[in-house]
Every structure is written in structure tokens, then in C-alpha cells.
Structure 1
Amino acid sequence: MRYVLIILLLIFPPTVLEAQEPITLKDSLISLKTSIHHYKNTGDYGKAVLGLEKGIKLANSTNNIEAIIDFYNLYARLNIQFTRPVNPEIYLNEAREVLRMYKYPNGQAISSAIEAYLQASLGNDFQAMQHVRKALGAADHNNPDVTSVMELYIGMTYHKLKMYDKAKKVLQRMIPPINSYEEKYLLAIYQLVLATIYFEEENYESAQILLDNALRISARYGFPRILLDTNRLKYEIAQHEQDYKKALLYYKKADSIQLKYFNPKALQQQNEVASASESEFLNNVIARMSQDEIKQQQKVNISKLTSVLSSALLIIISLLTISLYRNNQIKFKTNDLLVKKNRELQVAKEEAEKAMRAKGEFLSTVSHELRTPLYAVTGLTHLLLEENPKESQKEHLKSLKFSGEYLLDFINDILQINKIDANKLLAEKLVFDLPKALNDVANSLRQTAHENKNTIVLELDDQIPSKLVGDSLKLSQILINLVGNALKFTENGKVIVRTELVYLDHQSCKVHFEVNDEGIGISEEMQLNIFESFAQGSIQINRKYGGTGLGLTIVKSLLSLFNSEIHLKSEVGMGSSFYFDLNFDIPDPTTIEEEKTEELEEASLNGLHLLVVEDNKINQVITKKMLGKKGISCHVADNGYEAIKLAKENTYDLILMDIHMPGISGLITTEEIRKFNTTIPIIALTALSLDDSTDDFFASGCNNIITKPFKPDLFYQTIGNSILKSKSEHVQ
């Protein structure tokens, strides 16, 4: 009979039969699956088994082979979830028997994934990995109902095999899961398994965050098994952290859940239902096999059917031969197709890399080219504001200035991200004063805080050495982004910048940084992608608070240079807390030099004579006027050749050197000037691009850099300090 069934399945595929089913039958199967998942996840083993028995009978009566396989797989999952009241292999074997006769890739994928987990639980590592590969090869990765379940068991398999990195990668990729039947349950179990991995890695902080999420979901939707395991794991963490009060609390919670859902009476009822179900299932299998044997014996005893059986055998052999031939043909075609696809993938990979390079070059070029007109916009706006405009014009000019500065910040953010992506930024190691760096950050944002009636509070750990070795500039960029965000989303509140010493020895130390605010908070859904580019929560938030959505992306990217990560705790309406840890070296006390804080007063700029090297006519006019506002006279050179000639023939206090010019660049011009004048201060006045390196500027002989467009105060301050520094060095 089994061979005859194979022939019928080959001639009349079940998909054809299923396509002819009435809609009501499909609806019945769907409703059954929905209720089975509900009872399975909410701890009602008996009702789940009853639903599965009804589902298999209905699927058999409608010849829905795919539904039969799905119910067998669900039977196996149920018994795994309830710690094997019945051996899941019984149902997986039946699923495999049907899959031998009927091709159903999604059912094969889930069966193989479950089998991989069972083999890993038994310590059969090799067999487990074979089933993982089989599952991944069979699945339709565009079907979230299949991938969400398959990836769960693959992640659990990697966990059993102690392949933690692979397990985390699989599970994190599927959060949040998409599933028609058990989306919330899968979200909770994904986070519970991830928390277990972090616990085994002794990363208790990450484990606690995931367990809190799993606990909230399980409590809300009533998943007793996850509630029990979550409280048990929180008990273990509290024990490791020697917080015995919390440990006792979680132990009591777990014990309460155990008594309510998994007490001896409930377990006995489960075992009784499981035994009855297993007996009925095995009896049905035996009865079906016995019936087949009786019919076979009857046909053997009937001589008139001998020729029919012989013919059937010949047909089967013929079909098998044809099938083998077709399989070989398909195999050859598949191999050819794989070779072709591999070539196409290689070409696609090269095209993607080329596109990435083109994107970087495009953004670099655009950001560089936008800076030149922006210099004109911001420069002319500044000049107009200083020329006593009419009161009716001041608001327009201030709006124009704000828009120009906003656009400049946006361009700078894009350039910063692209430099990190292109590996153009490296973490430096220089001696700096940590309290001074933090105070500078706070002072630079005082005005922003004042606009929203906020205060910035610094809570610095006195145990942290004041002098450290690290990259103070990038640390300041990180904190400015975090504090700036906190100020933007907070009104009439406090933003606290806190540092705590994690550990310290004579060579290095680890410092914990934290930025807390009392703002609007961040929802759980938004926290999943808050660090992605242009992530702002919603259009309403963007319109109300503004911003580019790149600040946190830059923070995450900059921290990656230090092998650190940004973390977040937040609740809607309760504020937010961003925190991270950084390692620093301790400098040799004998090598620390006291910083000179002397600055040139703006009044001292009067009477200076400069050389401005700039090829853009508008920029020449703006720079000349800005210098004239402070009583500074200047000569203007249109190109590098003219600049070299004027530098030889005249005496200047300082040279402002544009870098990107036709003919010879500003770097080459600087090198030529340094051949006959090594003392004059030269400031690179340029619009930085992705390929520009500040190291190249200093190597060519520049003393400082001003990025166009610039803020006037910074422009005058840099000029004054450069001249002051040059004079002090010349005296020495």
C-alpha cells in the first residue's frame, strides 16, 4: 500500500488537491493552529494535545500533506517545551516518513532544525551541525513564519554546542520576530535564550536587560514556562552578584510559578495525557501497518491479482529509474546553475564594493563643494549682522545664519560617518586633562541648555586621575552629541554627566561615563534601532525637535574605534540614560608638561598684515572684510605661484592658505614657502574632504587648520593664538 501511495502522490500532488479545498477547511486548520499555539505557550498541555489530534484528523481527511507535517513538527515542539512528556523523535520520525514521499521544503526546514537541537542536547555535535545545514538549505527565507521558528532552534542548537557568537548572531538577527501564530512568545524566548548565553559569558548586565524584557512580555501574555525560567535565571544572577535579598525574591517568584503551573498534580495530569496520546498515536501507527499487511496478504493470496502486482512493481521500477535519471539531470543542471550563480555573486560583490567607493567619493565631493558656497552664506551673514541692519532685517539674518550653521553641522556629520566607514579615522593617544575636557564640553553647551531652561551637572569621580592618555577630541565629540541630544529632548530639567572609576593600576584605568536626562524618554520599539543612521523615532519628533538623526550613529561609530559600545536605559516619560566604558593609559608624571593658557587679545589683532591665498573671488572678499573688521590688512594671492612670489617679496605676520586650488595645491605651496621661510605661521583655511588628512597638512609645514565655513570667533582666536605661539617659540 505504501508504494501505491507513493505513485498516487507522484501522479496527484497534494498541492493540487489542496488548491481545490473549500475556504472553510483552510480556515479551520488555521484556527486550530492558532489555538494549539495559544495552549502550548500558556501552559495547557492537555488542550494543546487535543487540538493536535483534531488537526491531524482534519488534515488527513482533506489530504493536506503539508498541514500533516506541520502538526507533527508542532507535536515535537510541544513535547520539547514541556520537557519531553513524550519523546519528540516519535513525531519527527512520522514527519520524515511523509517528507520522503512529499517535497515540502518549509516543513523539512523546521523538522531538521528541531532534530539539530535534539542531537545537540544528546551531545552529538556532528549530527547536529548536519541538520543545521539541512535546515538552512531547505527553508524559504522569505517566509517569516518558517524562519522565525527555524532560527530559534538553530540558535538554541548553537547554544547547546557552546558556539555562543553564532548563537547570538542568529538570535539577535531575528529580534523582533515576525510570526502569524506566536510572535510575542518567540520574542520572549529569543531574549531568554540570549540572556542565558550572556549569563554563561558572565555578562550579567546584558542578561538582566534581556530578562527584564522577557519577563514583561511573559507576564503580560501569560507564558508560565518562560516566567519560571526567567525568574530562575535572575535568581542565579543575583546569587553570583551576592545580592541575596534579590536572589530570595526571585527564588520565591519561581517557586510560586512552579507551584501554580508545574505542581505534582499538574505534572501528573500532563503525564497521563501524554501517555494516552502516545499510546493512541502508536496504536494508530500499528493499526495502519497491520491493516496494510492484511491487505497485502489478501492480495498475495488472490492469484488473479498477481499480474497486477507484477505490473505495479515494473511501473515502480520504471518510475524509480526515470526519477533517478531526472535527478541526475537536475543535479548536473543545478551544478551548472551554481557555478553561474557564483560568478554572478562575485560580479555583484565587486559591483557593490565599487558602488560603496563611489558613494564615499560622491559624498566627499558634495560635502566639499557645499562648503564653498556655505562659506559665502555664513560669512556674508556675519558681516551683515555686524553692520547694524534694520530691526526688521535682523530676524531674517539670524534665521539665515542658523540655517547655514545647521546645514554645516549636517555636512560635518555625513563626512564624519563616511570617514569612519572608510577607516580614515584612528584613535590617538595624547596626554589630556579629563576634568578640563568635561568642563569644556559643558561650557560649549551652556547656551543650548539655557534655551530650554535646563542645567548641566558634572558629577566627577575624584579617584580618577586628572591626567590621562587618550583621544580627548573624539571623547569630546561623543559627549557633545550625547549631552546635546539630552538637552534637545529635555525642558526645565537637569542633564547629568557622571564619571565613575571602574578600575585603576599604575599603567591604565577604566572609566565609566554616563549621561542622564529628564526628557521625554525612548520607547522600547525605538530603542531597537535608535543607533541607526537618520533614526529619529517619528516624523512628529523630527518636526518638533529637529536634528539630523546622525548624532547617535556617530557616537556608536566613534566608540567602535576604542573597542567600546554605547548602552541605553530609558522609559517613555521617565528620561534616558546613555552610558559606556573607556580604557585610558596613565601618563608618566615626569613627561607631563603644564599647558599654557595664554591667548592673544582681540585688540592685539589690530595692525597685523596677512597674506590670504584663495582662488575663489567671493571668498576673497569675505575673508578680506572679516580681517578688516579687526583692523587687519592683507594681500590676496589667486594661486600658489603668486603666493610664493608675494611671500618672498613681502613680510607678513601670518599666511591663510587655501588647500584645494588650481595649478599647485596649498600643500605644495606651503612646502615651497617653507624652503625660504620657516618661522611664519601658516594656517590651512580649507573645506576638508574625505581624502584629506590633517597629518598631511602639518607634514607640509602648516601650523594650524581652520575648516571652512567657520565661526568668526574661532577664526580670530586661531589667528591670534598662532601668532602668539610663533612669537614665543621664536624668542626661545
Structure 2
Amino acid sequence: MKQILLHITAFLILPLMGLVHAGNIASDTINSSDFSFYKYKNKGEFNKAIKALSDAYETATSADDSESLINICNLYTELYLDYEQFDKVKVYIETAKRALNFYEYKKGEAISKSYEAIYLAQEGQEIQALQLIEEAKKNIPRRDAATNDLVILNEGIMYLHLDNLNRAKRNFQKLLPYQTGPEKEYLTAKILIHLAKIDLHKNYLENTELHLTRLLTIVNERGFMKLKYEASKLASELFEKERKYELALEYLKQAEAINSTYFSNKILTSQTQEAKNSQLEFLTRLNDQLKKDAVKQEQTVNISKLTSVLSSALLIIISLLTISLYRNNQIKFKTNDLLLKKNLELQVAKDSAERAMQAKAQFLSTVSHELRTPLYAVTGLTHLLLEEDPKESQKEHLKSLKYSGEYLLNFINDILQINKIEANKLSLDKYPFDFRQVLSKVVDSLQQPAKERNNKIVLDIDEKIPEMIIGDPLKLSQIFINLVGNALKFTENGSVTLSAKILNTSNSETTIHFEVQDEGIGISEEMQKNIFDSFSQGSEQINRKYGGTGLGLTIVKSLLTLYNSQITVNSEIGKGSTFLFDITFELPDNEIKELIKAPTKVQEELYANLNILVVEDNKINQVITQKMLAKKSMKCDIASDGYQAIEKAKKGSYDAILMDIHMPGISGLKATQEIRKFNKTIPIIALTAISLDESKDDFYEAGCNDVITKPFKPEVFYKKIAHNVVKNIKVNL
């Protein structure tokens, strides 16, 4: 009986396998990154892109590949959407619909509907566009990441046409950088230009610069002429807003040159005329193919009747087999019930563990957040007392108090950093920075603890390492401050060496090998296995003698994972330790270097003319902030809650507003939104102890220009006030 079943199954299935294999040949060609259509389309070579589609059609028809025929229709749609020829877009959308009536192809249907949603959105048909994008999502095959990402991207473009910029921005940010499909680099650049346009529209000029920095790197390297044209226009608009008129004119000329070479009306008309025959032939042959398939479908109906007879026989055989397997199934049911109970118990245990982890993270986040407010008073008052010429006998006590406050702040920051790592809320920023300057600042900041233990810090940087690289200088500084600071703590009367050697380099990126070597007490082989775990310092005796939180190396390891790097350690008791890792950085080109702003020197006279509104509900913090402003001869006015802040901002004339975020009544974010309704230009700087659930993006969305995290260092406090005031009044110091 089993042999009969196998023979019938083989009879029904084997003839189809050859057809599937033949179709996959053409599909693989179109879905490959080597498919020449993408190269020609993205570089602005319209005629060659059309020719590539024509060749692909020949391959698809010879392989009897219906899926590739629909893919080609979708590629025509994509091409004309990029060139904004919406009359042609409609033709190919309708052609794809006809083909989908004959062939069931969920992936092709999802992509086609997402393109149609874009078309309807630009036609102003909002309801129909939203309905279609939802249908497109439902048709995405399971585990098909490439189709899912493309539909999300097209949904973002649809929202752009519907003027829903916030929703569009969320879609684009979710995909950056683009990871799937044959056009990863091109679609990454396309997303960056959409984000740059949105931020420029919202007047977020710094964000616009960052997007353009990454965008110019890609389009210049890859030769994406259509996007380079749009990027040049956008750069011209940005520089015009920043009153950098020479740069604005330079980029405008570049855009005009690209347009005249690739996209002028004369060129596009000529290209369209030359491609017309190829497109007409494709549409005619596809129409004939669909007619033939309609006839085949009628024949299939007749075959299906025969198939139904065979299926009935097959069902009878299966029924007989089912009876023979019934007893075995009874045993399996009992086993499954037992497994189900065990799975439920495991699920309950898993849920309990997750709730415990969430409670721990929330508790630590709340504690670290609440400690920052009183710590602001401690560090602020200590700074003020040290500047008021205290007695020599008092200086030592005040310095001890300052050290204790900074130690507690570092501990709180480590806890918050660990919470963010565990909650996956850390990500890398990417922008050009001076590599040597970052490492030099790390070394300078640690000179005092080095002197206290009679140590010396040696900085050894390979001369071949480029001056400017692209990365996240803040997180790079955190890595080296933790490693070098740790090395200094466990070393006495010795040296700590921070070295950076180049491994390999190209025009677009460089790989650097880093080592932090000390002459300290060393780490045993046993302790090296868990030295990177949280709160691990080797032993209780080491913790008592040397102090510290035991979180530094955990933070270093987690930050390096953002760079796709791993840290290792070589150490021997009494002979010191060496920590090693490699990082690959992108390199900026000359155009990007022009976007980097030179640092400005703040003149002391600037502060004396400023009038600041301080919005703060805590009385002690009011006094401290007021005195710190007075130290620089700045005037200030106090608002104890958000309502007072709004009234004073309406009536008074201020150069800047320092806005506490957490206040009774209405929050600082809500007060900022209300102030922005009648005053768009005044700098508003948020003063907050950022918790795990807060994001600086929320502050910028509400209308804040900058954020100062409490408790803060006085030099950071003064610098940010000056920077935002200068930026507002457009004065170059």
C-alpha cells in the first residue's frame, strides 16, 4: 500500500520539478547584484537599462519563468518612478496586474502593490494608497527579508507624497543602512537623501549635514548620478540656509552640470524615443504570452478533472493508512500532552525571568536617574565653593567632596550605560573626526590620575593612519578612557602605553590595530575567563584595595560589538596586561572634509551681554544655576514651572532658555512645544538627568536645540550656552 502511494505522488509531482528548476535560472539572474539593469539605472544610463530588461525578458521566456516576467514589469515600474515619468508607471502597473491574474506570485504582487501605492499617493488618492500598502504587507512571503524591506521603503516614499514626514522618517530610519537585495548601496543612498530632505524641511541643519556626509561618500564612490544630482541640489539649499553662499553656488553648478549631461529634457526625450521600440516589443510579446496562458488555463481545467479522480483514489489510500496509524497516534498524543505541560512550565519560568530582568533594569534606571538631581547640587556647590577662594584648610575637604561626587557620577553613568546595552538602545553615530585629536584628549584627561600613582602615559600612533576617519568619537573615547583608566588604577610607578597601528587601508576604509599595555599587577588565567562580566574585578580583595564598579570592561566589550570587533587580553600575574582589538573605519573624501566645521573660540565678553531664562522647580538647583551664570556676568530670570516659563517667554526678551524636563504641572517638553508656537528662534537647551526610557531625539522633536545632562561639568555648561547663542545670532567668533 505504501509503495502505491509513493508511485502516485511521484506521478503528480515529478513533472513539475523540471519547470521549477528552469524558472529559477531566470529568477536568479534578475535577483542577482550582477544584473546589469541595476548598474545602468543607478548610473543614469537609461537606454542600457532598457536593453538589460529586454535581454532578461528573452531569458525568462525561454525558461518559461512567469515570476521573472512579473519581476521585469516591476523593474520597469521602478525605473520610471525614479525618472518621475508617472504616465509610464501606470502602464506597467496595469501590465503587472494582468500577469498576476494568471500567475500566483506573492512576492511580485507585494512589490507591485507597494509601487502602485506610491503612484496613487502622488496622485492625491490617500485612502486607496493606504489600502494598497496594507495589501502589499499581507502578501509578503514569510522570512522574505528583501521583499519586506523593499515594501517598508516604498511605504516611506508613499508617506512622503502624503506629506506625513514623521511616519516616512520612521520607515527610513528602520532600514538604515539597507541590508537586503541586490541594490543595498543604492537604496541606502536613496534613504539618506530622503532623510536629508525631511531634516532640511524641518530646519534640522546638523542632521542634514550628517546625512549628506554619508550620502556623498556613497554616490561619489558608486557613481549614482541621479542621486548625486539630487544630493548636489540639496547641499546647495543647505549651504544657502547657512549663508555659505560660495559653497551653495559650487554645488548648484555641480547639479546643473550633472543634469545637462544625464537628465536634461533633450537627453531624456532622445533616450525615451530610442527605448520606445524595445518597450513596445516587450508589452506586445507579454500580451501574446498572457493570451496563450489563458488558453492553457482552460486546458488545465480539463486536466484538473482527471487529477480530482486520482486525488479521490489517493484519499482512499490515505484513509486506510490513517486507520493503521491510529493506535500509534494515541501514544503520540499522550507524549505531546506531557511535552506541552513541560513547555508551559518553561514558558512561565521564562516570563518570570524576563519580568525580573525588566524590574531590575527599571529599578537601576530609576535610581540612577533620581540620584542625578541631588548630585547636581553636590557637584555644583562644590565647584562654586572652590572658585570663591576658600581657606587652605577647606580646600582639601572640598577637593575630596568633588572627587567623591565625580566618583558617584561615574558609577551612576556606568549603571545607566549597562542598562542601555542590555536594552539594545545603543547605536553608533558616523561622522568625520580627527583621530589623533580624540586619542590625545583621552590621554590629557587621564594625566591627573596618572600622576597620583606616579605613572606615565605613552601615546604611540602610526604615522600612516589617516588624519580624518568616519566613526563615533564619543564611544571611541569611552572605550579608551575605560581601558587606560583601568590600566592606571592597577599600575604604580610604571607606564601605560596606548598604541594604534595600521593593518590595511584602501580608498574607502582603513583597519587599525589597538593595544593598551600596562606594567601593573596582571590578571590570572582563571580570572581572564570572566574579566569582561558585569561587576567583575577579580576578587573582593582587589575591589576593596583598588575600588571601582567592575563595569568598565563590560562597557568596553559591548561598545566594541557595535564596531563588529572583539577584545582579547594577554596577561600574567606580576607582569602587566595587554588588551588588544581591531576596528575598521570608513574614510571621508575631500568633499566631506569641507563639511566639517572648524571649532570656534568663545570670547568671554559674549557672556556679559546675555539674559537667560532658567526654568527649574528645585529651589537648590535654581540657586546653583543662577550663581553659575553670575560667574560669567550673565543675567537670569527664574521660572518655577512650565506655565511660568511660557508666560515669561511671551513677555520677556531672552537670549536663551535653560529648560528642566521633569517638573510638576506640565513637563519641560510640553512647555517647549508651547513656546515654539510663538517663538521659533530662541535657543532652548534641555537640562535633564536622562533615564533609560528617554531619548535625545524626543527633545529635538519637541523643539529643543541642545541637551545638557545633569550633573554637568561647568565648562560643558558654559560652552553649550555660548554655542547655541552664537549659532542663533549668526556671529562667527
The TM-score normalised by the length of structure 1 is: 0.53
Name the counterpart of 1:352: 353
Q: Which of 677, 680, 701 pairs up with 2:679?
A: 677
**CA distance 1:365–1:358, change in 2 (3 Å):** same
Letter in 1 for 2:684: I
- The worse-fitting range, judged by mean Cα deviation, of 664-673 and 409-418 is 664-673
> What amino acid is the match of 2:444?
N
**Aligned AA (1:347):** V
Question: In the alignment, does 2:389 pair up with 1:410?
Answer: no
One-letter code of the match for 2:687? L
Is the 2:726–2:732 Cα contact (8 Å) retained in structure 1?
Answer: no
Q: Distance in 2 between matches of 1:537 and 1:387?
A: 43
Using the TM superposition, give the Cα deviation of residue 365 of structure 1 relative to its aligned residue in structure 2, in angstroms. Answer: 1.2
Give the structure 2 partner of residue 712 of structure 1. Answer: 714
The corresponding residue for 2:402 is 401
Per the alignment, residue 569 of structure 1 pairs with 570
- CA–CA separation in structure 2 for the residues paired with 1:350 and 1:528: 29
CA contact (8 A) 1:599 1:721 kept: no
Shift of 1:588: 2.1
Residues 602 and 716 in structure 1, CA contact (< 8 A), matched pair in contact too: no
SS at match of 1:675: helix
Cα deviations across residues 330-355 of structure 1 (Å, max 9, x unaligned)?
99987654332211111121222222
Cα distance per residue 1:536-564 (max 9 Å; x no partner): 11222222211111000000111111221
- Alpha-carbon offset, residue 526 of structure 1: 1.1
Please tell me the residue identity of whatever aligns with 1:676.
F
Task: Give 2:610's aligned residue.
Answer: 608
SS of alignment partner, residue 495 of structure 1: strand
Residues 1:671 and 1:523: Cα distance change in structure 2 (over 3 Å): same
- Structure 2 contact 615–658 (Cα < 8 Å) conserved: yes
* Distance in 2 between residues matched to 1:564 and 1:671, nearest whole Å: 41
| Offset, 1:419 | 0.5
Structure whose alpha-carbon radius of gyration is higher: 1
| Equivalent position of 2:528 in the other structure | 527
| Structure 2 partner of 1:258 | none
C-alpha contact (below 8 Å) 2:454/2:493 kept by paired residues: yes
Deviation at 1:602, TM superposition (A): 4.0
Cα distance in 2 between the residues matched to 1:474 and 1:570: 25
Deviation at 1:377, TM superposition (A): 1.6
Query: Counterpart in 2 of 1:692?
Result: 694
Partner residue of 1:560?
561
Letter of the 1:583 counterpart: T
Partner Cα separation in structure 2 for residue 714 and residue 658 of structure 1: 17
* Matched residue, 1:280: none
Structure 1 spans left out of the alignment, 5+ residues: 1-327
Aligned with 2:399: secondary structure?
helix
CA deviations 1:272-325 (Å, max 9, x no partner) are xxxxxxxxxxxxxxxxxxxxxxxxxxxxxxxxxxxxxxxxxxxxxxxxxxxxxx
Partner of 1:631: 633
Query: Which amino acid counterpart does residue 498 of structure 1 have in structure 2?
Result: S
In 2, Cα distance between the equivalents of 1:394 and 1:731? Answer: 39
> Are 1:660 and 2:662 an aligned pair?
yes
Partner AA of 1:632 in structure 2: M
How far apart are residue 471 of structure 1 and its match?
1.1
Quote the Cα distance in structure 1 between the aligned partners of 2:653 and 2:590: 42
> Any idea what the Cα deviations from partners look like across 1:389-437, whole Å, max 9, x if unmatched?
3443333322222211111110100100111111111111111111111
Q: Amino acid of the residue matched to residue 512 of structure 1?
A: H
Query: CA separation in 1, counterparts of 2:343 and 2:417?
Result: 35
SS of residue matched to 2:584: strand
Partner of 1:530: helix, strand, or coil? coil
How far apart in 2 are the matches of 1:380 and 1:659? 21
- Measure, in 2, the Cα distance between the counterparts of 1:378 and 1:331: 68
Report what 1:172 is aligned to: none
CA distance in 1 between counterparts of 2:732 and 2:482 reads 41
Pair 1:376 & 2:373 matched: no
User: 2:515 corresponds to which residue?
Assistant: 514
Question: Which position in structure 2 is the counterpart of 1:362?
Answer: 363
Cα-to-partner distance string for 1:169-192 (whole Å, 9 max, x where unaligned): xxxxxxxxxxxxxxxxxxxxxxxx
The CA distance in 1 between the partners of 2:732 and 2:675, in whole Å, is 21
Please say if residues 450 and 457 of structure 2, whose CA atoms lie closer than 8 Å, have aligned partners that are also in contact: yes
RMSD over aligned Cα, in angstroms?
Answer: 2.4
User: Is the Cα–Cα contact under 8 Å of residues 600 and 732 in structure 2 kept in the other structure?
Assistant: no
Q: Which amino acid aligns with 2:613?
A: L
Aligned-pair CA distance for 1:584: 1.1
Q: How does 1:472-621 map to 2 (within 5 A)?
A: 472-593=473-594, 594-602=596-604, 604-621=606-623
Q: CA deviation at 1:690?
A: 0.4
Structure-2 change in CA distance of 1:573 and 1:589 (3 Å): same
Aligned equivalents of 2:400, 2:335: Cα separation in 1? 64
Paired residues in the alignment total 405
Report the Cα distance in structure 2 between the residues aligned to 1:507 and 1:474, rounded to whole angstroms. 21
CA distance, structure 2, for counterparts of residue 673 and residue 731 of structure 1: 27
> What is residue 140 of structure 1 aligned with on the other side?
none
**What is the CA–CA distance in structure 1 between the aligned matches of 2:530 and 2:538, rounded to whole Å?**
9
**Aligned counterpart, 1:110:** none
For 1:422, give the aligned amino acid: A
Would you say the 8 A contact 1:429–1:470 is kept in 2?
Answer: yes
Take 1:504 and 1:680, find their aligned partners in 2: how far apart are those partners? 45
**SS in structure 2 opposite 1:635?**
strand
CA distance 1:523–1:613, shift in 2 (3 Å):
same
TM superposition shift of 1:472: 1.2
Matched-pair contact (CA < 8 Å) for 2:607–2:722 = yes
Name the residue aligned to 2:388.
387
> Distance between the aligned counterparts of 2:601 and 2:663, measured in 1?
31
**1:652-692 per-position Cα deviation (integer Å, ceiling 9, x unaligned):** 12211111222322222223223332332222111010011
The whole-number CA distance in structure 1 between the counterparts of 2:331 and 2:495 is 69
Q: Structure 2: how far apart are the matches of 1:602 and 1:710? A: 20
> Counterpart in 2 of 1:702?
704
**Structure 1 contact 685–708 (Cα < 8 Å) conserved:** yes
Which letter does structure 1 place at the counterpart of 2:502?
A: L
Do the aligned residues in 2 keep the contact of 1:364 with 1:689 (CA within 8 Å)? yes
| Distance of aligned partners of 1:477 and 1:495 in 2 relative to their CA distance in 1, 3 Å threshold | same
Aligned to 1:437: 438
8 Å CA contact 1:599–1:720 kept in 2: the answer is no
| CA distance in 2: counterparts of 1:360 and 1:406, whole angstroms | 21
- SS of 1:592's equivalent in the other structure is helix
Amino acid at match of 1:552: L
Structure 1 pair 656–459 and aligned structure 2 pair: CA distance change class (3 A): same
Greater displacement, 482-491 / 389-398: 389-398
Residues 1:603 and 1:495: Cα distance change in structure 2 (over 3 Å): farther
| 1:721 aligned partner, one-letter code | H
1:116-127 counterparts in 2 under 5 A? none
1:215 maps to none
| 1:502 Cα deviation from its structure 2 partner | 1.4
% identity of equivalent residues: 66
Change in CA separation of 1:603 and 1:520 when aligned onto 2, cut-off 3 Å? farther
Structure 1 residues 186-230: Cα deviation after superposition (integer angstroms, max 9, x where no partner): xxxxxxxxxxxxxxxxxxxxxxxxxxxxxxxxxxxxxxxxxxxxx
- How much does 1:515 deviate? 0.9
Letter in 1 for 2:688: T
Q: TM-score if structure 2 supplies the norm length?
A: 0.53
CA spacing shift, 1:492–1:623, aligned 2, 3 Å:
same
How many angstroms apart in 2 are the aligned matches of 1:468 and 1:449?
A: 28
1:372 Cα offset (Å): 0.9
User: Cα deviation per residue 1:236-255 (whole Å; 9 max; x = unaligned)?
Assistant: xxxxxxxxxxxxxxxxxxxx
Aligned counterparts of 1:333 and 1:397: Cα–Cα separation in 2: 73
Offset from partner CA, 1:143-171 (integer Å, 9 cap, x none): xxxxxxxxxxxxxxxxxxxxxxxxxxxxx
Give me the whole-angstrom Cα distance separating, in 2, the residues matched to 1:618 and 1:441. Answer: 33
Q: Over residues 458-486 of structure 1, what are the superposed CA-to-partner deviations in whole Å (9 max), with x where a residue is unaligned?
A: 11112221111111111111011101111
